[in-house]
Amino acid sequence: MVLGTNSIVATAGEHLAGKGPLKLRYRPYTLNLKHAFNLASSSRTTTPVVLTELEYNGITGYGEASMPPYLGESHESVLKFLSRVDLSRFDDPFQMENILNYVDALEEGNKAAKASVDIALHDLVGKMMKQPWYRIWGYDASKTPVTSFTIGIDTPEVVRQKVKEAEPYKILKVKLGRDTDKQMIETIREVTDKPLCVDVNQGWKDRQFALDMAHWLKEKGVVFLEQPMPKEQLDDMAWVTERSPIPTIGDEAVQRLGDVLKAHKVYSGINIKLMKCTGMREAHEMLTLARALDMKVMIGCMTETSCAISAAAQLAPMTDWADLDGALLISNDVYKGTAVVDGKVILSSGPGIGVVKI
């Protein structure tokens, strides 16, 4: 059973004894990728992030904003937005709805920046309650799925190397969307017969081509197809979904809660990412709505530290698939939290989002 705000406050009990202002701190950081991250239309070796801390009566919650290029956010935009956030007006972290509504209303967009506050607030409140969020939401930690490991677009030699490095993982996520798509899959099939999922990042424009590829991919052991066509091509995408032999998942097309209903019957399911939807509060709402619509649910990530990954992982027990490898792709993580053991997402029993600094 999901606890409401009143139940949360009652459960917290003695932890609410003190009153004081919420103090927000933040700093820019750059993640270094182990390999170049090649997509249908871009390539990069770093990702800018902003790390946040929210302190109340000596307890600190951790948060993060990750800004891959397509989101349109940057160090500069996030720092500018956070400089406008005045949480000193709130003296009770359990006023989560009021706090997050205030942050969301400051400006349009800035979704990753808002997520950095949301995550830190959830971590803080969970620590005050001395419980992880998956327990507060009533989820069974043993029911987390395995996570996929991402294989970016690259030369056959590098692809084979990446597949070997991904040996512990039970399912591989393959980036497609260029004229080398079949070569990518065939190269991987030379070295492994593991199940695959593919992410086209809107790279296919023709619906008949997309459907033909869906049939070919099914024969190659692909279990679902993520964002094959541009998000604007709703009619074409619905046509593909109706005929596809494998489920279709909306990613770029499904950003926030209002997009879930629009995606119904256009896609088989949705990919929820905290950096798209402003954080854990809205991600939880999106999950609930998608389940009510009988849609498949995937919990995904950007290139992130273990902070944001651990926050997203709190939802993992209620999802069909997880793509939570973002921290595994970087060489300079600054937190320890959710782990991957033999390919399976293992939630920390620590309170809040379950992370500690390293």
pLDDT tens-place string over residues 235-250: 999 999 999 999 999 9
Q: What is the DSSP string of 238-279?
A: HHHHHH-SS-EEESTT--SHHHHHHHBTTBSEEEE-HHHHTS
pLDDT in tens, 306-319: 999 999 999 999 99
Domain ranges of the chain: 5-130, 135-357
Q: Which residues partner with 343 through β-bridges? A: none
- Using CA atoms, how far residue 321 sits from 185, 293, 326, 335, in Å, is 20, 17, 15, 24
Per DSSP, the three-state class of 152 is coil
Closest C-alpha to 62, from 248, 305, 328: 305
Token pair belonging to 215? 């049939």
What is the per-residue pLDDT for 70? 75
Closest C-alpha to 266, from 241, 296, 290: 241
What is the per-residue pLDDT for 346? 96
Q: Which fold has domain 135-357?
A: TIM Barrel (3.20.20)
Do 37 and 303 touch, CB atoms closer than 8 A? yes
User: Sign of torsion, CA 353 26 50 249?
Assistant: positive
Using 50, 70 and 90 to split pLDDT, how confident is the model at 143?
A: very high
pLDDT in tens, 162-180: 999 899 999 999 999 999 9
- Using CA atoms, how far residue 34 sits from 30, 146, 162, 302, 303, in Å, is 13, 22, 10, 15, 11
pLDDT in tens, 62-119: 999 999 877 899 999 999 999 999 999 999 999 999 999 999 999 999 999 999 999 9
Q: Which residues partner with 270 through β-bridges? A: 250, 297
> Distance between CA 225 and CA 184 in Å, rounded?
15
Which pTM value belongs to this model?
0.91
Amino acid at site 157: E
- Using CA atoms, how far residue 22 sits from 19, 55, 95, in Å, is 9, 6, 11
CATH of 5-130, one of 3.40.50.1980, 3.30.390.10, 3.30.230.10, 3.20.20.60: 3.30.390.10
Helix H or strand E encompassing 44: strand 43-56
What is the per-residue pLDDT for 41? 56
What is the per-residue pLDDT for 13? 42
> Distance between CA 337 and CA 335 in Å, rounded?
7
What is the per-residue pLDDT for 35? 80
pLDDT in tens, 211-243: 999 999 999 999 999 999 999 999 999 999 999
Query: Is the pLDDT reported for residue 16 higher than 60?
Result: no
> Distance between CA 78 and CA 129 in Å, rounded?
29
